Structure 1
């Protein structure tokens, strides 16, 4: 009987010992995503540019230009600032010209050109799209307060005519703008 108890104890010890040594390695996967938060432009409120009444013969990409300065607040402000403007481009026009919702003969020739900074300067277009990095294009003009939480951005909008003669009528153009640091 004692031999049987010893054999049972040894068998039980062997089972316990083999169970504690036969543990499998478990992989642990940890995932996350680091992102760069966009800045808050104009307090997240609509930016409105009103050209008022315009003489159709004076629309030339220079006349009726309006500059506007908007506040920009950033929680992340390390590196260089980039601006992204998303909107429809007027077909055949430069990459900084928004298509308008004009009707009739104006539909294919009237746009709104956008520029960085105060004034119409072809050296500083506010180019549409995300650029090669998806965040837009470097802010090179009209940007004050670089590298700080509170900044300002000045942009200029101007009616743009691409050939032809304009007809009387209302129009508008829309786009979204974001500013981020990279």
Structure 2
């Protein structure tokens, strides 16, 4: 999958703190049952993505990443499983509409990402290695993590007419409670045939 994974840069002294505040706030609003360690991991991932220079046009596909992870030595395997999970998380959280335009199933990305984090959790499940627990939680709550990222993305955008239409399209295609709530905040009542969402 090729997309520019560079996130919007914001004028703030510490980019990690900027994202941590927003991810933490999104987790609370969504009542996402994630630990502070997971909030920190997602925040750090977003801060790292904001500083990326490459456009990932030459990045391997999810299947290629999984193949490399499965057929590498332990250290390389951990790196590839993490890269696969992170790529799927960012792709689904920040670039969902791009995936939809390319007719890539969000379920495919969720399955690959959650599976990668689950494998990492098992590989790193040693006493005193908290990252194993973080990856386990991210595997179990992958959709919540993508929704937190999507909410951070929404907060970082200006809300012009095309953004609202895009958000409405996202709500119609996914049924996202976050998208419906954001539409209500913008004064748009999401309606399905047969009633209000």
Please give the range of the TM-score, normalised by the shorter of the 2 chains.
under 0.3
Q: Give TM-score scaled by structure 1 length.
A: 0.22
Higher helix fraction (1 or 2):
2
Structure with the greater relative contact order (CA < 8 A, sep ≥ 6): 1 or 2? Answer: 1
Q: Give TM-score scaled by structure 2 length.
A: 0.21
Higher strand fraction (1 or 2):
1
